Structure 1
Amino acid sequence: MTRQPSRPRPLTARVPGSKSITTRALLLAAAAPGTSRLWAPLISEDTLAFREAVTGLGARVAPSPGDQYWDVTGTGRGPVGTARVWCADAGTAARFLPPYSATGVGTFTFDGSAQLRARPLGPLMRAMAGLGAGLDAPVPGRLPLTVRAGGLEGGELTVDSSMSSQFLSGLLMAAPLMRQPVRADLSDSVSRPYLDMTLSLMRRFGADVKETAGGVIEVRPGGYRATALVVEPDASTASYVFAAAAVTGHRVTVPGLCGRSVQGDLRFTEALRALGAEVEITDSAVSVTGTGTVRGGFDLDMGDISDTFMTLAAVAPLADAPVTIRGVRHARFKESDRIAAVAQNLRACGIRVDETQDSVVVHPGTPRPARIACHRDHRIAMAFSVLGLAARVPLTLDDPYCVTKTFPGFHGEMARLFPDYTVPERP
């Protein structure tokens, strides 16, 4: 499909900090002795819940005026004492903090919203029990979870991470606080770029991490050290403004992202190249320019960057041929069943979608007005907002402000960049 804008406009997007980096850095700083300064952290519901959680486990967090940075003073060890930790909707808190708490001494209870209680934790719990953690969960494999901590021994780490790499990330970040070296085979893990991000940040905070040629990781005891870290803009969040540029014919630049980014979701730009957009990646920014042509007819494995598959699927109806996205079965276990949610909403817009357990094929079509079921999932809301803008069709989000989970200013920023964007009314 060819779209010629009246006049291409160069735009600079204000994309907030990476949630993945912010939450990992909060945990690592909490585990390190001394004070770490985290510059440009993401301020959102999930990261504020995570910040409150690590504070409840013994760290001190002092935000600067305007939240330009957070000073996190850690303890240099696992938590000690008793705490009830509210994770709200934050899956990272529920997956990262129980292993960390198990390296300490005390009793720590984790709970969250109804949405978070529905998300699986069984593989993490089984792996923690295998390392010697004492666990109580009224509903097996679900929150609430009580950890009766007395330290973890270490050794061979076995965890089923086919649903989420966060299980393994949480255990790896706890590993430097265990008594013996920890070894883990990452070769069959989903979302490997997120594990690479975890390992990179662990090294940045002083952990002793080695990797063999066969993909086996060894983490030795020794803990962490305090450090200063600048949080990059969120590459997953940037996918929405990049996709909007690609299908509206504008040029959007996100400063602060670069080719050295630790975020695997920057690879979403490869999907936009396949669509026909021009992509420029420098040492200081990433730019995407729409060419007026939106191509389809390609097949893309997005298993490693599944948080962005909804972005591509949402704009795929505007392409000139079907787009196949595969390898994303684990996206069914996120805030919503994202494959089903994408298919349901595209069909509501009159678009043909073929769905399997781990893939979708989106066919070209002209979207019609529809009500979008967000399923309290921020990424569904943001992805379909891009489709509504690009197709110039009224799409009504049933929960437009679920975007506060990761990008509270999303609708305002889209309207600043794209004057045709309609900001939803607040409930």
Structure 2
Amino acid sequence: MVETTSHTATVRLPGSKSVTARALFLAALADGTSRLITPLEAADTVAFADGLSTLGFPVDRGGDVWSITGNPTGPPAETAVVWCHDSGTAARFLPALVSLGAGDFVIDASEQMRARPMGPLLRALGSLGVRVHAANGDRIPLRIDADGVEGGVVQVDAGASSQYLSALCLMAPGTRNGLTIEVLDEVSVPYVELTLAMMREFGVTATRQGSRITIGPGTYQARDYVIEPDASTASYFFAAAAVTGNTVTVLGLGRNSRQGDLRFATEVLSAMGCEVTVDDDRTTVTGPTHLRSPGEVVMRDISDTMMTLAAIAPYADGPVRITDVGNCRIKESDRIDAMASALDACGITVHTGADWLEITPGRPHSALVQTRADHRIAMSMSVLGIRTAGIRFDDADCVGKTFPGFHQELAGLQEAWQRG
């Protein structure tokens, strides 16, 4: 393993995709005009904001502040065709939003998004009386004949995606009687907790007892809302420090963050020998001289960082086994297979199963990585490329989905370490 001398750098990363999307939904149903401060401006969030505009909500995307004038009764438009591009969040959240309105709506998206199942959400909406017509049974495009939602008790299986559950929670106050949601299965629990916390910040009551979530009817209140940096994106910069023995501080992401993916630093990288310090408004990671294997890591709740761990696993001192990430097979790509193929192209041995992968340490070599148009494959393998010359991508620009300036920012981090 290459020994390194620690240098220090500080970065300020774009806003959280997850927080931005939820804030857009909440602002759209709020009474008044909300201002989202430092939102993420990337393909996914712009698709969501443009979708709101198509639905008749006044949206002003002005630099670091986006203004949205809400309508507590749902979309002002009586008919609309909403194009979600590649945004899974928009494609899962907007059907719930338009169900609260009155009119005929179509939700459509790219071929990549059309291939992703929507069954659990569509069944839940259907049980609430929402008239949804889906392509091939459980896929978009969707045609929704909306006439408001009465509410009541609804069951949802969120074992494949927490977004199904978050969508129901977000729409609940706009129903006539509120919702009692019985959760049959669930992944990525921190994302649902983030949803409920943000709903409370916008002025509604949401309670959870075990597998039951209760949300009464009510009205979100418009407000100014600051979007914190994206913890999933931060994982790549923390991982860069881990594999180089350097120090990075991410500003704006501290102990008050509700994003579960910060656990990648505090739990996973700590177990690999990194020094991790979480302050009120920042998190700092210093990599070790030799990266330890954490052994088996259960990543069900932080599966968006699975690829980050897989990308640095070749540099550990023993095999790394990542488990309980079956939901990663139905993301933008089959991420288990995509990471296994990418690492294999670099000469690293990877074994996989239905919901796990195990990476054997080795010396990666240069390769052309097939990103499968998945931003997280490109970002993760870019971290591997810090220690391995000649890593190239078939579609380097796919990072624009969540972080258009990613490659420049990562290169700037390395330059800062070199100067230090």
Superposed pair shares fold, TM > 0.5: yes
1:140 aligns with 2:137: yes
Instruction: Write the mapping of 1:259-408 to structure 2, written as runs, cut at 5 A.
Output: 259-269=255-265, 270-389=267-386, 391-408=387-404
The answer (yes or no) to whether the contact 1:317–1:363 under 8 Å persists in 2 is yes
1:101 aligns with 2:113: no
What amino acid is aligned across from residue 121 of structure 2 in structure 1? L
* Cα displacement string for residues 167-225 of structure 1 (whole angstroms, at most 9, x for unaligned residues): 1111110010011131123473111000001101111111221222x342100001211
The answer (yes or no) to whether the contact 1:58–1:75 under 8 Å persists in 2 is no
SS in 2 for 1:59: coil
Q: Are residues 420 and 366 of structure 1, via their aligned partners in 2, closer, same or farther at CA, if it must alter by over 3 Å?
A: farther
Give the deviation of 1:112 after TM superposition.
0.5
Instruction: Write the mapping of 1:7-406 to structure 2, written as runs, cut at 5 A.
Output: 7-64=5-62, 67-80=63-76, 81-186=78-183, 188-212=185-209, 214-269=210-265, 270-389=267-386, 391-406=387-402
SS in 1 for 2:156: coil
What amino acid is aligned across from residue 116 of structure 1 in structure 2? M
SS in 2 for 1:306: helix
SS in 2 for 1:144: strand
Q: Distance in 1 between matches of 2:414 and 2:135?
A: 49
Give the deviation of 1:140 after TM superposition.
1.4
The answer (yes or no) to whether the contact 1:32–1:77 under 8 Å persists in 2 is no
State the 4+ residue runs in structure 1 displaced beyond 3 angstroms. none
**In the alignment, what sits opposite 1:424?**
none
The answer (yes or no) to whether the contact 2:156–2:184 under 8 Å persists in 1 is no
Q: Distance in 1 between matches of 2:10 and 2:216?
A: 43
The answer (yes or no) to whether the contact 1:258–1:281 under 8 Å persists in 2 is yes
Q: Distance in 1 between matches of 2:68 and 2:92?
A: 20
Q: Are residues 136 and 402 of structure 1, via their aligned partners in 2, closer, same or farther at CA, if it must alter by over 3 Å?
A: same
The answer (yes or no) to whether the contact 1:58–1:74 under 8 Å persists in 2 is no
Give the deviation of 1:40 after TM superposition.
0.3
Superposition TM-score, scaled by structure 2 size = 0.97
**In the alignment, what sits opposite 2:406?**
410
Considering only aligned residues, what root-mean-square deviation do their CA atoms show, in Å?
A: 1.3
Q: Distance in 2 between matches of 1:39 and 1:416?
A: 25
What amino acid is aligned across from residue 154 of structure 2 in structure 1? L
SS in 2 for 1:199: helix
Q: Distance in 1 between matches of 2:148 and 2:261?
A: 34
The answer (yes or no) to whether the contact 1:79–1:106 under 8 Å persists in 2 is no
Gaps of 5+ in 2: none
What amino acid is aligned across from residue 289 of structure 1 in structure 2? T
* Cα displacement string for residues 150-171 of structure 1 (whole angstroms, at most 9, x for unaligned residues): 1111111211211101011111
Q: Percent identity?
A: 50
Q: Distance in 1 between matches of 2:135 and 2:68?
A: 33
- The number of aligned residues is 415
Q: Are residues 277 and 34 of structure 1, via their aligned partners in 2, closer, same or farther at CA, if it must alter by over 3 Å?
A: same
Q: Distance in 2 between matches of 1:178 and 1:76?
A: 10
Give the deviation of 1:420 after TM superposition.
10
The answer (yes or no) to whether the contact 1:306–1:328 under 8 Å persists in 2 is yes
Superposition TM-score, scaled by structure 1 size = 0.95
